[in-house]
Amino acid sequence: MSDVIELDWRNGPQSLTHLRAGDAIELTGRVLTLRDASAARIARALQEGDRLPVSLDGQILYAVGPSPAKPGQIIGSAGPTTTARMARYFPLVFAAGVRAVIGKGELHGGDMTTFTERGVVYFAAIGGLGALLAKHITAATVVAYDDLGPEALFALDVERFPAVTIIDTTGRNFHEDARHAWRTSV
């Protein structure tokens, strides 16, 4: 792993080609949340040629279903959810311009290929740290599908949000590289 790379998304998207599988990042800027139900609605709208409630072009999606905020909080616990569950929707959302996804869990086969074919980066946040990750969220606004509760589409402003690059734009996969290194060292 390298030193932590600061990724500033506040002034819009930037190139992610400098990131390598295994790079630790701290993201500052706006991300959109994505869960099973909101992903299904977005995919359906894209399939039917309907206008989306927010542009996906240049966006980073965070696979999360935040819990409700307690009084005085911006958001409740906001830990990542398993990315592979939403993989069937990724070809459509990636074609709409998504640049990266934050989630948890490994991706293999066709799920990984979808990322590499589009040059989309996969970041992992640590599951089980939802309360701590929520402290990196400075604003949370529902932008669509408010009837879905925690699976609504939120815009989150994040500050120094920690994650690790798992799949980079060249298709390298940190999970696979680490597993290979472990197997050859024993």
Domain of 120: which CATH number?
Answer: 3.20.130.10
Query: pLDDT averaged over the chain?
Result: 94
Q: Residue 2 has what pLDDT?
A: 53
Residue 36 forms part of a structural domain = yes
pLDDT in tens, 100-116: 999 999 998 888 999 99
Whether residue 127 is contained in a domain is answered as yes
The CA distances from residue 117 to 60, 114, 131, 171, 179, in Å, are 17, 5, 34, 8, 23
Q: Answer whether residue 82 is part of any domain.
A: yes
In a domain, 115, yes or no: yes
What's the number of domains the chain is made of? 1
The answer to the question of residue 16 being in a domain is no
Cα angle at 56 between 162 and 26, to 5 degrees? 10
Q: What is the pLDDT of residue 1?
A: 47
Band (pLDDT 50/70/90 cuts) for residue 152 is very high
Q: Does 69 fall in a domain?
A: yes
In a domain, 5, yes or no: no
Domain of residue 132 covers 23-185
pLDDT band at 166 (very low <50, low <70, confident <90, very high): very high
Residue 4 included in any domain: no
